[in-house]
């Protein structure tokens, strides 16, 4: 194994960023070998989400050097991806959000691609993440990069990669790109200003945003009349969503006092000063928005996460009670609107959801006769599978994941929080004409398709090794065999996408793709379905538990019972796991 002092010297030989060089040189001078090991021994992994980590010096983190290495590796991969292999045939879209270092990293990435003769399609100002995949398709680019860490804490950043189909990359492309990155030994492109005057740069923001807004208007056509409009409160959670939301809201007659923005959260702020964690899903993230809505007399709160690819909302039920809709609830509300307003052949209409999302959309599809497809978690799968279905003659119109991500393929093959907000506003107006609020519409859907309620949560794991050990222990918990029961409930179907096992298929193999590098087990009980999976980006074991019953109360009770049983029997505190909120 290479001595840590040699690794540190290699870093110092490569890095030309004064701030990050100083971090490593200070650690060397202090003799802090444990910290040097953590920062330098293992390279930041390039996977299907690209790169994501905290911003620190070292091969294991997001910084100028690792961004440049990734960009040069990706550029090399791009140059081998098409015939003819002429750099002039290729272009890459590059965007960035308002996080610390996002613009700097984007500029360095642009410099790397330009050095290889690849055209850079450059926004040159803040954009929300969906603008990148949209523009990849609009400009027929080979690839797209968005510098963002989405809803992660303020010290994180990321490097998200899209391919020429406008979708996030999937295996084996991610592994091939990672291999190309690992071959980069030197980096000479350190000037972030190159993109400002290079002849091979096209500035696309004005036309791209115009085209994007046109796609949004088509998505929500016909527009509601001004008489149908009601005021609502919106928060971008210190992110970049407001200009895009404001424009489509204006086009839909939500103008002036009809759009009430949470002032303290309106402007981009990489500190995220008013929220402990800038994710609309997190408890308390919408408290300020709901308080302002109560003061200004609006009954609906809409929210995007900082890079505006996710969407959340809440409805005021009475003077003091708010209901924040879950991702599954928003998904079924949007799906019902898409179905109700679809004018084509409904037998070809297709909707998708990830396997950890509610089974309610599948129940709706069975009842109404449209096509439904379940995929692995992540919009990399939802987008690519939707494109495969489109090639087969299906019409994918909507896809969602329970983590408040919603995709409308007519706009972009990825989740889009602004598009979701626009469609929700359009649906809200339709439901108003029917005398329904979103909450009342949801109850109507439950009454028709069944009551589905979840007890989704996560456990914090000390390390990836612990996570793997926990899942191995589960697989051997029944005298060396997989468990047959959870609490008092029999496991009717066991699906292990890590080992490639499925007790519910004729050949014992899963329908969904197997990934030996990712922990994922799904069990079907009599009245509950649950999935346990290791997070690919965070030190977490995520639990997705859904009960179905004749009432919301009973369905929730069932889900919570299984959660309690799993914590007692599978995910025990003695493993060093900590349940969220405890």
Pair 87, 69: CB distance under 8 Å:
no
Beta-carbon-side half-sphere exposure of residue 183 (alpha carbons within 13 Å): 12
CA pair distance 44, 149, nearest whole angstrom: 14
Place of tokens 């994710």: 279
∠138-144-148 over CA atoms, to 5°? 120
Measured CA distances, 313 to 324, 373, 440 (Å): 6, 25, 15
Pair 8, 24: CB distance under 8 Å:
yes
b/e per residue 175-204 (b: at least 16 CB within 10 A)? eebbebbeebeebebeebebbeeeebbeeb
Phi/psi of residue 413, each to 5°? -90, 50
Beta bridge partners of 261: 234
CA pair distance 70, 178, nearest whole angstrom: 8
- Tell me if residue 235 falls in helix, strand or coil: strand
CA pair distance 556, 86, nearest whole angstrom: 58
CA pair distance 210, 204, nearest whole angstrom: 10
CA pair distance 101, 474, nearest whole angstrom: 42
In the set 20, 53, 115, 150, the catalytic residue is: 150
Beta-carbon-side half-sphere exposure of residue 382 (alpha carbons within 13 Å): 29
b/e per residue 336-348 (b: at least 16 CB within 10 A)? bbbbeeeeeeeeb
Pair 487, 560: CB distance under 8 Å:
no
Q: Residue 479: how many CB atoms within 10 A of its CB?
A: 6
CA pair distance 158, 337, nearest whole angstrom: 34
551 tagged catalytic: no
Instruction: Give the residue numbers marked as catalytic.
Output: 150
């Amino acid at each position: 194994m290479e001595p840590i002092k040699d690794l540190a010297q290699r870093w110092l030989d490569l890095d030309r960023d004064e701030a990050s060089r100083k971090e490593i040189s200070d650690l060397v001078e202090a003799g802090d070998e444990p910290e040097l090991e953590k920062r330098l021994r293992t390279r930041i992994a390039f996977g299907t989400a690209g790169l994501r980590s905290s911003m620190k010096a070292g091969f294991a983190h997001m910084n100028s050097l690792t961004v440049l290495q990734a960009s040069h590796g990706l550029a090399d991969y791009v140059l081998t991806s098409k015939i003819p292999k002429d750099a002039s045939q290729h272009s890459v879209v590059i965007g960035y959000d308002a996080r610390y270092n996002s613009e700097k990293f984007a500029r360095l990435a642009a410099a790397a691609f330009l050095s290889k003769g690849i055209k850079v399609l450059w926004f040159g100002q803040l954009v929300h993440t969906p603008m990148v995949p949209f523009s990849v398709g609009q400009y027929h680019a080979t690839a797209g990069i968005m510098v963002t860490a989405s809803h992660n804490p303020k010290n994180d950043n990321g490097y998200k990669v899209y391919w020429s189909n406008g979708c996030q990359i999937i295996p084996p492309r991610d592994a091939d790109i990672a291999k190309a990155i690992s071959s980069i030994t030197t980096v000479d492109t350190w000037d972030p200003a190159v993109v400002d005057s290079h002849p091979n740069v096209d500035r696309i923001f004005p036309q791209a945003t115009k085209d994007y807004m046109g796609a949004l208007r088509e998505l929500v056509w016909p527009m509601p009349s001004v008489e149908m409009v009601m005021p609502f409160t919106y928060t971008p959670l210190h992110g970049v969503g407001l200009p895009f939301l404001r424009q489509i809201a204006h086009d839909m007659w939500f103008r002036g006092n009809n759009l009430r923005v949470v002032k303290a959260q309106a402007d981009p702020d990489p500190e995220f000063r008013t929220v402990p964690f800038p994710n609309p899903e997190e408890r308390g993230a919408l408290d300020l928005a709901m308080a302002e809505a109560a003061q200004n007399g609006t009954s609906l709160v809409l929210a995007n996460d900082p890079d505006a690819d996710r969407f959340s909302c809440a409805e005021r039920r009475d003077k003091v009670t708010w209901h924040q809709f879950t991702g599954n609830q928003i998904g079924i509300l949007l799906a019902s609107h898409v179905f109700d307003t679809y004018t084509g052949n409904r037998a070809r209409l297709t909707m998708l959801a990830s396997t950890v999302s509610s089974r309610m959309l599948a129940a709706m599809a069975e009842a109404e006769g449209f096509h439904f497809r379940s995929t692995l978690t992540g919009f990399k799968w939802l987008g690519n599978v939707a494109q495969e279905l489109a090639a087969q003659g299906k019409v994918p119109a909507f896809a969602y994941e329970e983590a408040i991500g919603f995709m409308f393929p007519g706009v972009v093959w990825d989740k889009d929080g602004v598009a979701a907000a626009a469609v929700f506003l359009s649906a809200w107006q339709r439901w108003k004409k029917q005398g329904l609020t979103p909450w009342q519409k949801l109850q109507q859907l439950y009454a028709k398709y069944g009551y589905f309620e979840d007890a989704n949560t996560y456990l914090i794991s000390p390390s990836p090794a612990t996570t793997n050990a926990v899942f191995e222990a589960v697989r051997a918990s029944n005298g060396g065999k997989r468990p047959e029961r959870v609490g008092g409930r029999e496991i009717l179907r066991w699906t292990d996408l890590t080992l490639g096992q499925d007790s519910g298929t004729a050949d014992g193999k899963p329908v969904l793709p197997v990934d030996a590098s990712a922990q994922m087990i799904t069990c079907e009980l009599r009245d509950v379905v649950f999935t346990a999976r290791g997070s690919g980006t965070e030190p977490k074991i995520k639990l997705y538990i859904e009960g179905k019953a004749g009432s919301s109360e009973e369905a929730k009770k069932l889900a919570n019972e299984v959660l309690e049983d799993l914590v007692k029997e599978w995910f025990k505190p003695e493993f060093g796991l900590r349940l969220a909120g405890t």
